[in-house]
């Protein structure tokens, strides 16, 4: 059974249960399924088949959800695109993928109009958000029912394509299969113990693999409800959590840091909230401790994975939340995780090596890039590019990306070590370490720090704290205080942008 089959099962067993709520607009499983079938039927009537890619340039909404599942029902690979990308980047993705159709929101009209003359494969465009327009998704999904031919699908057929953020070069199209998607739904449903009583709060972008596959697919797989917001806004997010009786919330550490300084959080009535999850970056001890103090009955869970593994590798559950801070936990169900040395042999406990992952959720490969696929997947193992180590209890710790490691005069420095110390400083909201050139030592660490609102700290105080907590060679050579760190849609700091700032000086 694929995720379309599980949706059908839920329609049969609980047709009147709510599947989504967006801006107060509630949709039942039965209504949602009819909407998705109408859109799938539209594309089948156009003659599209199982190799024809449908691209989405949409913000978070129930229309995004309907479009995603319409592609699953109709048998078309769906390509969610990061709406924050520049027109030339979206142009590259659409041309490289040879997508046949685009569904886009009216607020991205200028971008689509700019690149449309360059798009050689696009045959059809649909829109959302317009009051009057041809080919409105709103009209199609609320119109007459359409006949949908059930396409015979194989495990290895491509179901979804996500392009990587491009932080290490040209974006690569990660091809996830029917088997990958249904497996990740099973994996996270089991890990987070999601049931049809859960109300999952989505504020992270649905065009990103994490929001779609760690939260959306598993919730629908379980028959739960999705509470969708277009984005994170602390006051509004807290109001939504209260009004919608949210049971599970996901945020990156920076979101939690902001939420904990929002006064209304202390007064919020959240009796149904049972699980707070986080990912994309380590959560500092003091932040986890504060979350547990405010929500003593709520479990905290860390999630780790990559687009290439759907995403899913390990998770740190609540019983380790304060005793294993900094760890990303143990392997998820159906997953194997190893740390290997340069020869591909298992590293000793405590030794740093590359994290590799195996399981039914590991991608088929990169679209039109066999060389990169061969370099990343070896004998069924996905080589993540992340450096990590296991402790004596078998829990995994991320040390850093291979490319981010700093070699200072022959000494290896892992930026995460320094960042964890910076996050201990009460005035620090977020921090990032990069290597900068040095005439004698080759490279040295530089810190970029953003302060919490209405709090003050200077470079000398930050350096003094680092000197008290770190080996001398790990202390940043320089500290620069900034308004905010550049991040991609998944919440990961874009260190390439920080490096480019150094190069421009």
DSSP of 189-204, one letter per residue?
Answer: HHHHT--TT-EEEE-S
Minimum mean pLDDT range among 7-11, 76-80, 130-134, 379-383: 130-134
How much is the pLDDT for 183? 98
The CATH number assigned to the domain holding 439 equals 3.30.300.30
Among residues 119, 153, 187, which one ends one of the domains? 153
Q: 16 lies in a domain?
A: no
Residue 433 sits in the same domain as residue 380? no
Q: 9 lies in a domain?
A: no
Burial of 261 (0-12, 13-18, 19+ CB in 10 A): middle
Distances (CA, A) of 179 to 158, 309, 324, 393: 9, 12, 33, 31
Residue 127 sits in the same domain as residue 243? no
3-state SS of 14-80 is CCCCEEEEECCEEEEHHHHHHHHHHHHHHHHHCCCCCCCCEEEECCCCHHHHHHHHHHHHHCCCEEE
Please give the tally of structural domains in the chain. 3
How much is the pLDDT for 133? 84
Average pLDDT value for residue range 354-380? 97
At residue 227, the 3 state secondary structure works out as strand
- Which residue range(s) make up the domain with 274? 209-401
Among residues 357, 372, 401, which one ends one of the domains? 401
Phi, psi of 478 (to 5 degrees): -150, 150
Q: 352 lies in a domain?
A: yes
How many other C-beta atoms can be found within 10 angstroms of the C-beta atom of residue 45? 11
Reference 178, options 157, 151, 149, 207; nearest CA is 157
Q: 393 lies in a domain?
A: yes
Reference 493, options 502, 503, 480, 484; nearest CA is 484
- Taking the C-alpha atoms of residue 44 and residue 146, their distance in angstroms, rounded to an integer, is 10
For the stretch 458-494, pLDDT in tens is 999 999 999 998 878 899 999 999 999 998 766 778 8
At residue 404, the 3 state secondary structure works out as helix
How much is the pLDDT for 427? 93
The CATH number assigned to the domain holding 59 equals 3.40.50.980
Two tokens, residue 373 = 């696929």
Residue 317 sits in the same domain as residue 361? yes
Kindly report whether the peptide bond that precedes residue 311 is cis, defined as omega within 30 degrees of 0.
yes
- Taking the C-alpha atoms of residue 500 and residue 40, their distance in angstroms, rounded to an integer, is 44
The CATH number assigned to the domain holding 266 equals 3.40.50.12780
Q: 233 lies in a domain?
A: yes
Q: 192 lies in a domain?
A: no
Distances (CA, A) of 240 to 131, 218, 219, 227, 264: 27, 21, 18, 8, 12
Among residues 401, 429, 463, which one ends one of the domains? 401
Q: pTM of the entire structure?
A: 0.85
Residue 419 sits in the same domain as residue 370? no
Q: 483 lies in a domain?
A: yes
Residue 425 sits in the same domain as residue 332? no
Residue 93 sits in the same domain as residue 220? no
8 A C-beta contact, residue 261 and residue 452: yes
For the stretch 194-214, pLDDT in tens is 999 999 999 999 999 999 999
Residue 472 sits in the same domain as residue 394? no
Residue 275 sits in the same domain as residue 318? yes
Reference 157, options 221, 216, 57, 76; nearest CA is 76
Helix H or strand E encompassing 206: none
Residue 350 sits in the same domain as residue 474? no
Two tokens, residue 361 = 């959720």
Q: 174 lies in a domain?
A: no
Residue 228 sits in the same domain as residue 101? no
Residue 369 sits in the same domain as residue 479? no
For the stretch 293-342, pLDDT in tens is 999 999 999 999 999 999 999 999 999 999 998 899 999 999 999 999 98
Confidence of residue 167 (pLDDT cuts 50, 70, 90): very low
Two tokens, residue 136 = 């409105």
Residue 77 sits in the same domain as residue 34? yes
3-state SS of 408-463 is ECCEEECHHHHHHHHCCCCCEEEEEEEEEEECCCEEEEEEEEEECCCCCCCHHHHH
């Amino acid at each position: 059974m694929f995720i379309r089959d599980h949706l059908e099962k839920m329609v049969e067993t609980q047709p009147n249960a709510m599947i989504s709520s967006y801006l107060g607009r509630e949709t039942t499983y039965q209504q949602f399924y009819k909407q998705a079938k109408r859109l799938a039927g539209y594309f089948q009537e156009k003659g599209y088949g199982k190799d024809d890619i449908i691209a989405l340039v949409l913000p978070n909404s129930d229309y995004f959800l309907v479009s995603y599942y319409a592609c699953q029902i109709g048998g078309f690979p769906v390509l969610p695109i990061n709406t924050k990308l520049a027109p030339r980047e979206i142009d590259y993705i659409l041309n490289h993928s040879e997508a046949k159709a685009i569904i886009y929101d009216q607020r991205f009209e200028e971008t689509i109009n700019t690149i449309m003359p360059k798009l050689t494969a696009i045959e059809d465009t649909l829109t959302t958000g317009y009051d009057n327009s041809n080919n409105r998704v709103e009209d199609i999904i609320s119109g007459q029912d359409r006949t949908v031919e059930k396409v015979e699908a194989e495990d290895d057929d491509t179901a979804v394509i996500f392009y990587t953020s491009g932080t290490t070069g040209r974006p690569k199209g990660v091809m996830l299969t029917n088997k990958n998607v249904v497996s990740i739904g099973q994996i996270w449903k089991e890990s987070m113990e999601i049931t049809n009583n859960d109300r999952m709060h989505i504020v992270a972008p649905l065009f990103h693999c994490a929001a779609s596959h760690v939260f959306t697919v598993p919730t629908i797989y379980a028959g739960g409800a999705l509470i969708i917001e277009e984005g994170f806004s602390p006051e509004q997010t807290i109001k939504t959590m209260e009004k919608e009786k949210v049971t599970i919330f996901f945020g990156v550490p920076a979101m939690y840091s902001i939420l904990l300084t929002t006064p209304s959080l202390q007064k919020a009535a959240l009796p149904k909230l049972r699980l707070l999850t986080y990912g994309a970056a380590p959560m500092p001890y003091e932040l986890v401790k504060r979350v547990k103090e405010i929500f003593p009955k709520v479990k905290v869970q860390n999630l780790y994975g990559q687009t290439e593994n759907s995403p899913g590798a390990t998770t740190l559950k609540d019983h380790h939340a304060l005793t294993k801070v900094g760890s990303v936990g143990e392997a998820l169900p159906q997953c194997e995780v190893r740390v290997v040395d340069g020869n591909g042999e298992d590293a000793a406990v405590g030794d740093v090596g590359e994290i590799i992952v195996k399981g039914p959720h590991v991608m088929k490969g990169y679209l039109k890039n066999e060389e990169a696929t061969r370099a990343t997947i070896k004998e069924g193992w996905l080589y993540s590019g992340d450096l990590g180590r296991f402790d004596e209890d078998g829990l995994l710790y991320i040390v850093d990306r291979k490319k981010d490691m700093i070699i200072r005069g022959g000494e290896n420095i892992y930026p995460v070590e320094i960042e964890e110390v910076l996050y201990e400083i009460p005035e620090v909201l977020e921090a990032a370490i990069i290597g900068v050139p040095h005439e004698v030592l080759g490279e040295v660490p530089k810190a970029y720090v953003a302060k919490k609102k209405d709090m003050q700290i200077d470079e000398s105080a930050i350096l003094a704290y680092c000197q008290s907590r770190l080996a001398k060679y790990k202390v940043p050579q320089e500290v620069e205080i900034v308004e905010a760190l550049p991040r991609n849609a998944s919440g990961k700091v874009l260190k390439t942008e920080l490096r480019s700032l150094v190069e421009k000086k």
